Chain A
């Protein structure tokens, strides 16, 4: 599914959050949005999910204006989006049940998906009984089980420690490769963007405008990002991070 942002603007009262965002995200492409906190990247995702509507311009999915949420375009939240009163299996199955699929069919399928994100044996655990990384695995399973055409990721691994985050990035990368979905990833982790994305858009302070675009689709990626050190340096300096001293070179975050 192709996502088209057609001169999209968003204001909250006097606050201009997004200013004329004009981008087309091709079907099957993975685009990362990187920028300062509160610059309006999440607002763009929420508009693509249909949770908010733009103040000006339009967001289109395959040419059709987006008027509300649709399970074909699903959103993965930073954390705490699993329902604490449901077990992991019930949390994953509810994505199907909301679409009218009976519990009898949804539950076995949810178990299969928990296995795909390597959570086998944790079906009957409640979210507060497992680690943050396991919760986000379940959140990914819940997003993928409905076979969405667009996956919107809102800093999905932001609350996790660095190692867990890399593990989850691998899980996500494999799932995306198998399912060929269109992905928009909002992140403040430059390495995450470099590792996952075909294209990285670097945003300015609010109102969000694209400062620069990096095309990486041709590069084979591993967690060792030395091949992309030039792009990394440029993105960090666009975000105002000093990259000349050796200490800053090793900095993980922005």
Chain B
């Protein structure tokens, strides 16, 4: 695989986006407007919506739930993964639990938590956290197996306490895999967020707004929401998480 320079990479991304928009526009030419709106119409609607407080409330509502759910899943996943890395029985137990629980689509938990916790933000946040926890914990746990013995021995010889060993040797050593896991977890969290919002239909949010547009057969609204979902996810993954990765793994890029 030959490495592309940044302009070639940008060119590839632009090509992909243009291709997706082209397919959409071709469909719009063949279908009546009320079934598939033109691309420019949807972009114009997006521009209008961005001036609407209701739309912005939905956006911030969704991002808030994502932040809490995804953030707590990352934190718990790191802690569980690291502890599992050093306690072997705990590792085996956690691994089995993850294999069983991971096979359940996170959205399948919605009815349970909706009844348990009532109509509100909590069931959506829990479902996001469930979706994001497993890939995070699994990636950290697997990475602890590859931590070099010589690094652990060196730290022990220098008098590192157990806590210091976890924080200053295990954590930085697993960070590359942790970030890959966190990107995978973000995909899960994002899908869980949108689908849970569509089902729960609580408060303002992207999924809620999408489901509502569907119910009133407003296809321009549907496509606008889908567009926002796609743009936001790419921005968070490619700009935020990739930027974080380059910052944290600075030593690998120098």
The size class of the interface chain B forms with chain A is 20 to 34
* Cβ-defined contact, B251 with A126, below 8 A: yes
Report the minimum CB–CB distance from A145 to chain B (whole Å).
Answer: 10
Report the minimum CB–CB distance from A104 to chain B (whole Å).
Answer: 17
Q: Is A98 an interface residue (CB 8 A)?
A: yes
* Cβ-defined contact, B254 with A49, below 8 A: no
The listed residue (A70, A75, A77, A126) touching B254 by CB distance below 8 A is A126
Cβ-closest chain B residue relative to A71: B159
Contacts A83-B169, A94-B168, A126-B254 hold; do A77 and B154 have CB atoms under 8 A apart?
yes
* Cβ-defined contact, B172 with A74, below 8 A: no
Residues in B neighbouring A83, C-beta threshold 8 A = 151, 154, 169, 172
* Cβ-defined contact, A69 with B157, below 8 A: yes
Max count, chain B CB within 10 A of own CB: residue among A86, A98, A128 = A98
* Cβ-defined contact, A98 with B254, below 8 A: no
Cβ-closest chain A residue relative to B148: A80
* Cβ-defined contact, B154 with A81, below 8 A: yes
The 8 A CB mask of B144-158 against A (1 = contact, 0 = none) is 000010110111111
Max count, chain B CB within 10 A of own CB: residue among A50, A74, A94, A128 = A94
Residues in B neighbouring A95, C-beta threshold 8 A = 158
Residues in A neighbouring B156, C-beta threshold 8 A = 51, 69
Q: Is B160 an interface residue (CB 8 A)?
A: yes
Q: Tally A-B pairs: CB < 8 A.
A: 62
The listed residue (A75, A126, A128) touching B157 by CB distance below 8 A is A75
Cβ-closest chain A residue relative to B176: A85
Residues in A neighbouring B31, C-beta threshold 8 A = none
Chain B residues 209-239 with CB under 8 Å of chain A are none
Contacts A75-B153, A81-B151, A98-B164 hold; do A146 and B158 have CB atoms under 8 A apart?
yes
Chain B residues 175-229 with CB under 8 Å of chain A are 175
Residues in A neighbouring B173, C-beta threshold 8 A = 85
Give CA–CA (A73, B158) in the complex, Å.
9
Q: Is A129 an interface residue (CB 8 A)?
A: yes
Q: Is A131 an interface residue (CB 8 A)?
A: no
Chain B residues 45-66 with CB under 8 Å of chain A are none
Give CA–CA (A98, B160) in the complex, Å.
5
Give CA–CA (A218, B241) in the complex, Å.
63
Report the minimum CB–CB distance from A23 to chain B (whole Å).
Answer: 21
Q: Is A84 an interface residue (CB 8 A)?
A: yes
Report the minimum CB–CB distance from B254 to chain A (whole Å).
Answer: 6
Residues in B neighbouring A84, C-beta threshold 8 A = 251
Give CA–CA (A96, B113) in the complex, Å.
49
Residues in B neighbouring A98, C-beta threshold 8 A = 155, 158-161, 164, 168
Q: Is A250 an interface residue (CB 8 A)?
A: no
Give CA–CA (A57, B251) in the complex, Å.
45
Give CA–CA (A87, B172) in the complex, Å.
13
Give CA–CA (A51, B164) in the complex, Å.
17
Cβ-closest chain B residue relative to A82: B154
Residues in B neighbouring A97, C-beta threshold 8 A = 164, 168
Give CA–CA (A83, B168) in the complex, Å.
10
* Cβ-defined contact, A71 with B151, below 8 A: no
Chain B residues 26-51 with CB under 8 Å of chain A are none
Cβ-closest chain A residue relative to B171: A85
Q: Is A99 an interface residue (CB 8 A)?
A: yes
The 8 A CB mask of B113-153 against A (1 = contact, 0 = none) is 00000000000000000000000000000000000101101
Give CA–CA (A74, B173) in the complex, Å.
22
Residues in B neighbouring A81, C-beta threshold 8 A = 150-151, 153-154
Report the minimum CB–CB distance from B78 to chain A (whole Å).
Answer: 16
The listed residue (B150, B157, B169) touching A71 by CB distance below 8 A is B157
Residues in A neighbouring B148, C-beta threshold 8 A = 80
Residues in A neighbouring B158, C-beta threshold 8 A = 71, 74, 94-95, 98-99, 142, 146
Residues in B neighbouring A75, C-beta threshold 8 A = 153-154, 157
Report the minimum CB–CB distance from A136 to chain B (whole Å).
Answer: 13
* Cβ-defined contact, A85 with B157, below 8 A: no
Give CA–CA (A49, B157) in the complex, Å.
7
Cβ-closest chain B residue relative to A52: B153
Give CA–CA (A215, B165) in the complex, Å.
40
Give CA–CA (A46, B150) in the complex, Å.
12
* Contacts beyond the supplied A81-B151, A98-B159: 8 A-B pairs with Cβ under 8 Å: A49-B157, A70-B159, A73-B157, A75-B154, A84-B251, A94-B158, A97-B168, A126-B254
Residue numbers of B with Cβ under 8 A of A are 148, 150-151, 153-161, 164, 168-169, 172-173, 175, 251, 254
> What are the 6 closest A-B residue pairs judged by CB atoms, nearest first?
A71-B159, A85-B172, A98-B160, A81-B154, A69-B156, A75-B157
